């Protein structure tokens, strides 16, 4: 039987004894061992009642067995749904209710809280700790290393990743086997990844960058991965001399530049530094190249599309641009009002079509119809310019998305929480440039008459309701919010005031 992603990424490694995952504790998981562990976990999933098309939620620490869980979801025909480990119970309740998973895997320390949400929804709960303990691990240890791979076609769903919208309601982007495999194939070809590469993996694996870009490209080619639980400067610097690839967000590179140990000699074995998930400042490009003789390769993608464009591996990498459309991906820039092609060099809406474009939003057919045209082009919401030779530059976002430290942050979601606080009349959340994180979250707040709130009090109220990366870094108490003649809050004015 065929299973598009499993057959391409995992099955070919059954007899491969080369190292796949090199872990923080010094342990090494070979490709052969990984195939066997995936089968053990697939047996656990099947025993838990997971059937083809069922959602398997993973809100787990970054561990080798978490990578095996992803493979097991593929082999068993399930739909893998990773969730940020920073999400609060209030946020998790929405995701689990909407996705209706058959199984939820969480950290051991979160089991009681997750049980409270998942069990009433009919989902089973298993656990995996950062140390590699938990009920999932115990069950897998006792399971068979043989599993009859479940047949899944190219158009069957393989992943479900939630991406918030400006309405504040998160949307589940449905990714098929074809979507994920086509993107991995394009990237490995473009970036010339082979089994001789060793990737420093310091990204989270609940995000498309660390999960589908990093893991899938290495699995496809047989490259090794130095699996780091999280980014830290000391750890990355110690691995540079033994590695060839680093995939990161701009924060990685600004932090490395702050350390004098980052030198040309330290990077002698490195082949490629890749950056994405947020804009990379031109000065970071220049400073990194001056220090290391490596020009960072910047690329552009979204949860709904995986990667869309990339600067060339062999060719000029221009700061401020995100390069050209990937092979078999079409990018066009249109007039946001009419949807007609914009003149070359004009700012317009970036639209994309190709095998990488998702299948639509889970349980949201109307939203899907709004954002995917009948022609198959997906309206990204990003504004950009395309040069005559096809090179793309991002100039802004039509919506108020904030990208901080590589994470997407949607102002409306934060505003809704702040506005529910007694004493708050209204709020406006926006992003301002930050040299390390790309953007910082700022909240302008107008209080009701007589209210005695300050920034610390508001911060304390939202603490249990929003993940830490969504918390505003500053609260500005104001008499009113600037508005245009149509009554719309002018966030550009707020940004200018804060900058001043």
Rg, C-alpha atoms of the chain? 23
- Contact criterion met (CB below 8 Å) for 419 and 443: no
Helices (H) and strands (E) in the chain, counts: 16, 24
**pLDDT for the residue 486:** 44
Among 241-250, 410-419, 460-469, the minimum mean pLDDT is found in 410-419
Average pLDDT over residues 28-40: 98
pLDDT at residue 487 above 60?
no
pLDDT at residue 408 above 50?
yes
Q: Kindly report the average pLDDT of the chain as a whole number.
A: 93
* CA distances in angstroms from 329 to 15, 163, 208, 239, listed in the order given: 34, 22, 18, 34
pLDDT at residue 5 above 50?
yes
**pLDDT for the residue 397:** 66
* CA distances in angstroms from 432 to 221, 250, 404, listed in the order given: 39, 15, 10
Cα torsion angle, 453, 456, 459, 464, sign: negative
Domains annotated on the chain, with CATH: 4-153 (3.40.50.12780), 402-499 (3.30.300.30)
**pLDDT for the residue 416:** 84
Residues 251-286: pLDDT tens digits? 899 899 999 999 999 999 999 999 988 778 788 899
**pLDDT for the residue 356:** 97
Q: Where are the alpha helices (DSSP H) in 121-170?
A: 135-141
**pLDDT for the residue 436:** 85
pLDDT at residue 310 above 60?
yes
**pLDDT for the residue 266:** 96
pLDDT at residue 179 above 90?
yes
Of 106, 128, 134, 137, the residue nearest 119 (C-alpha) = 106
* CA distances in angstroms from 161 to 80, 89, 305, 350, 455, listed in the order given: 8, 18, 11, 21, 33
- β-sheet bridge partners, residue 398: none
Residues 431-455: pLDDT tens digits? 988 888 888 999 999 998 889 899 9
The structure tokens 């969730």 sit at 83
Task: Look up the pTM and report it.
Answer: 0.84
Average pLDDT over residues 213-237: 97
**pLDDT for the residue 396:** 65
pLDDT at residue 85 above 80?
yes
Tokens of 43: 């047996």
pLDDT band at 301 (very low <50, low <70, confident <90, very high): very high
Of 245, 300, 292, 250, the residue nearest 273 (C-alpha) = 245
pLDDT at residue 106 above 80?
yes
**pLDDT for the residue 280:** 82
Secondary structure class of 389 (helix, strand, coil): coil
450 versus 412: which is more confidently predicted?
450
Of 93, 60, 164, the residue nearest 464 (C-alpha) = 93
Among 13-22, 151-160, 377-386, the minimum mean pLDDT is found in 377-386
Of 14, 406, 435, 468, the residue nearest 214 (C-alpha) = 406
**pLDDT for the residue 485:** 47
pLDDT at residue 246 above 60?
yes
């Amino acid at each position: 039987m065929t299973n598009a992603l499993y057959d391409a990424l995992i099955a070919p490694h059954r007899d491969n004894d080369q190292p796949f995952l090199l872990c923080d504790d010094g342990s090494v998981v070979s490709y052969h061992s990984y195939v066997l562990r995936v089968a053990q976990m697939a047996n656990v999933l099947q025993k838990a009642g997971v059937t083809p098309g069922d959602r398997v939620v993973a809100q787990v620490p970054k561990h080798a067995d978490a990578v095996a869980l992803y493979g097991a979801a593929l082999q068993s025909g399930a739909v893998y749904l990773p969730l940020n480990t920073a999400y609060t119970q209030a946020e998790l309740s929405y995701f689990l209710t909407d996705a209706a998973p058959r199984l939820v895997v969480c950290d051991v320390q979160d089991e009681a809280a997750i049980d409270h949400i998942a069990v009433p929804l009919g989902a089973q709960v298993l656990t995996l700790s950062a140390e590699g303990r938990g009920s999932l691990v115990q069950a897998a240890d006792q399971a068979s290393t043989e599993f009859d791979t479940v047949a899944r076609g190219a158009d069957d769903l393989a992943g479900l990743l939630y991406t918030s919208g400006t309405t504040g309601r998160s949307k589940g982007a449905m990714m098929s086997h074809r979507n994920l495999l086509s993107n991995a194939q394009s990237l490995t070809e473009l970036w010339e990844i082979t089994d001789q590469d060793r990737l420093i993996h310091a990204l989270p694996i609940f995000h498309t960058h660390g999960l589908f870009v990093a893991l899938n490209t290495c699995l496809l080619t047989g490259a090794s991965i130095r699996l780091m639980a999280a980014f830290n400067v000391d750890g990355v610097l110690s691995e540079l001399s033994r590695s060839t690839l680093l995939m990161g967000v701009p924060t990685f590179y600004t932090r490395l530049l702050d350390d004098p140990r980052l030198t040309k000699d330290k990077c002698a074995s490195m082949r490629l530094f890749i950056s994405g998930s947020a804009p990379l400042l031109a000065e970071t490009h220049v400073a990194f190249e001056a220090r290391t003789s490596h020009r960072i390769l910047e690329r552009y993608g979204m949860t709904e599309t995986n990667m869309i464009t990339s600067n060339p591996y062999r060719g000029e990498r221009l700061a401020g641009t995100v390069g050209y459309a990937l092979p078999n991906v079409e990018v066009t820039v249109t007039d946001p009002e009419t949807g007609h092609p914009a003149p070359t060099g004009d700012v317009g809406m970036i639209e994309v079509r190709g095998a990488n474009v998702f299948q639509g939003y889970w349980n949201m057919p109307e939203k899907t119809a709004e954002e995917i045209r009948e022609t198959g082009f997906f309206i990204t919401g990003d504004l950009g310019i395309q040069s005559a030779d096809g090179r793309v530059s991002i100039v802004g976002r039509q919506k108020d998305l904030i990208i901080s430290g590589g994470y997407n942050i949607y102002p409306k979601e934060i505003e809704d929480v702040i506005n529910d606080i007694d004493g708050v009349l209204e709020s406006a959340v926006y992003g301002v440039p930050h040299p390390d994180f790309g953007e910082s979250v700022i909240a302008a707040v107008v209080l009701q008459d007589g209210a005695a709130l300050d920034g610390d009090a508001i911060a304390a109220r939202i603490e249990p309701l929003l993940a830490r990366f969504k918390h505003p870094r500053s609260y500005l108490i104001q008499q009113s919010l600037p508005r245009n003649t149509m009554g719309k809050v002018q966030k550009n004015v707020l940004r200018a005031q804060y900058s001043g």
